[in-house]
Amino acid sequence: MQVDHDAPVVFLHDIHRQYRQGETTLTILSGAKLALWAGQSVALVAPSGTGKSTLLHIAGLLEQPDSGEVYVNGAPTSTLSDAERTQIRRTDIGFVYQSHRLLPEFSALENVMLPQMIRGLSRKETVQRSREILAYLGLSERVTHRPAELSGGEQQRVAIARAVANAPRVLFADEPTGNLDPHTAAHVFNALMQLVRATQVAMLIATHNMELANMMDRRVSLADGQVVELD
C-alpha cells in the first residue's frame, strides 16, 4: 500500500455502527471521527458498553462499519477484499488484548517469530528480530520459556513484542493492563510507551486506568456515538 506521509496513519471518517438486539437497535457509533498520527499515543477512556472495542475493531479492520470510511496510510479501505484487509492487518497493524493470547505450546521467542514467518520472512531473520524485540522489552533471559513459565507482566510484554514484530505503523491495545496489578501494569505500560517513542508507531489504547491515560499524548472518549477529545 502506498504510504502518504502527510496523512494520519489511521483516519476514521463519519463511522456509523448499529447492532440488532432482539427487537431493539443499538446505536454504538454515530458519525465518529478520529485521526491517529505517527509517534502519538492516544488513550480511549469511556465506560463499558459505550463502544470502545467496536471502535478499535473498526479502526483495526477487524469489523466493517455500517457506513463511513477507514483510511489507512491515507488510502480508503471500504472497497478492499477480505484478503487485502488481512494483508494490511498483517503488515501495518498490531493488536494487544487484555488477555495475552499467547500460544501455550510455543516459547516466548517462537510466539514472536510466528507473525513474521506468516508474513514470509526467513527463519534466520525472524529469530534475530524476535530476540532484539524481546531484549528491548527486558525479556532476553526468558526467550526459551513458555507462557506458563512466565509471570503475567512477562506474558503481556511477549504479547506486545508479538504485536510489533512486523513493525506495524499503528498499534491498537484493548485494556492491555486490565488483568495486571498496578505495579506490573505500570511496567508494561512504560514498555509500550518506550516502543511508541522508539518506533514512531501510532498507538490507541482503550483503558479504564486514568493514571496511565494521563501519561499519554491525547485522551479521547465516546459520547452519543461520537469521539470527543478530553482535556
Identify residue 71 by its one-letter amino acid code.
Answer: Y
Distance CA 177, CA 102 (A): 15
SS3 53: helix
**Interaxial angle between packed helices 152-163 and 108-119, expressed in degrees from 0 to 180 and rounded to the nearest 10:** 20
The residue behind cell 500460544 is 103
pLDDT at position 70 is 97
Given a cut of 90, whether residue 195 has pLDDT beyond it is no
Q: What does the mean pLDDT of the chain come to?
A: 90
CB atoms within 10 A of CB 227: 21
pLDDT at position 131 is 95
Read off the pLDDT band of 227 (50, 70, 90).
very high
H or E segment to which residue 143 belongs: none
Read off the pLDDT band of 5 (50, 70, 90).
low
* Residues 118-135, mean pLDDT to the nearest whole number: 91
Read off the pLDDT band of 198 (50, 70, 90).
confident
pLDDT at position 1 is 46
* Percentage of the residues of the chain whose pLDDT score is greater than 90: 66
Read off the pLDDT band of 225 (50, 70, 90).
very high
Distance CA 77, CA 203 (A): 19
The residue among 112, 118, 91 whose CA lies nearest residue 155 is: 112
* Residues 65-83, mean pLDDT to the nearest whole number: 94
Give the CA distances from residue 144 to residues 83, 111, 112, 116, in Å, rounded to whole numbers and listed in that order: 33, 10, 11, 18
Distance CA 151, CA 100 (A): 11
pLDDT at position 102 is 93
Homologous superfamily of 10-229 in CATH?
P-loop containing nucleotide triphosphate hydrolases (3.40.50.300)
The residue behind cell 508474513 is 119
Instruction: Return the minimum-mean-pLDDT range out of 48-52, 70-74, 107-111, 146-150.
Output: 48-52
* Percentage of the residues of the chain whose pLDDT score is greater than 70: 97
Q: Please, what's the largest Cα pairwise distance for the chain?
A: 55
pLDDT at position 169 is 94
Q: Tens of pLDDT along 170-179? A: 999 998 888 8
- How much is the pTM? 0.88
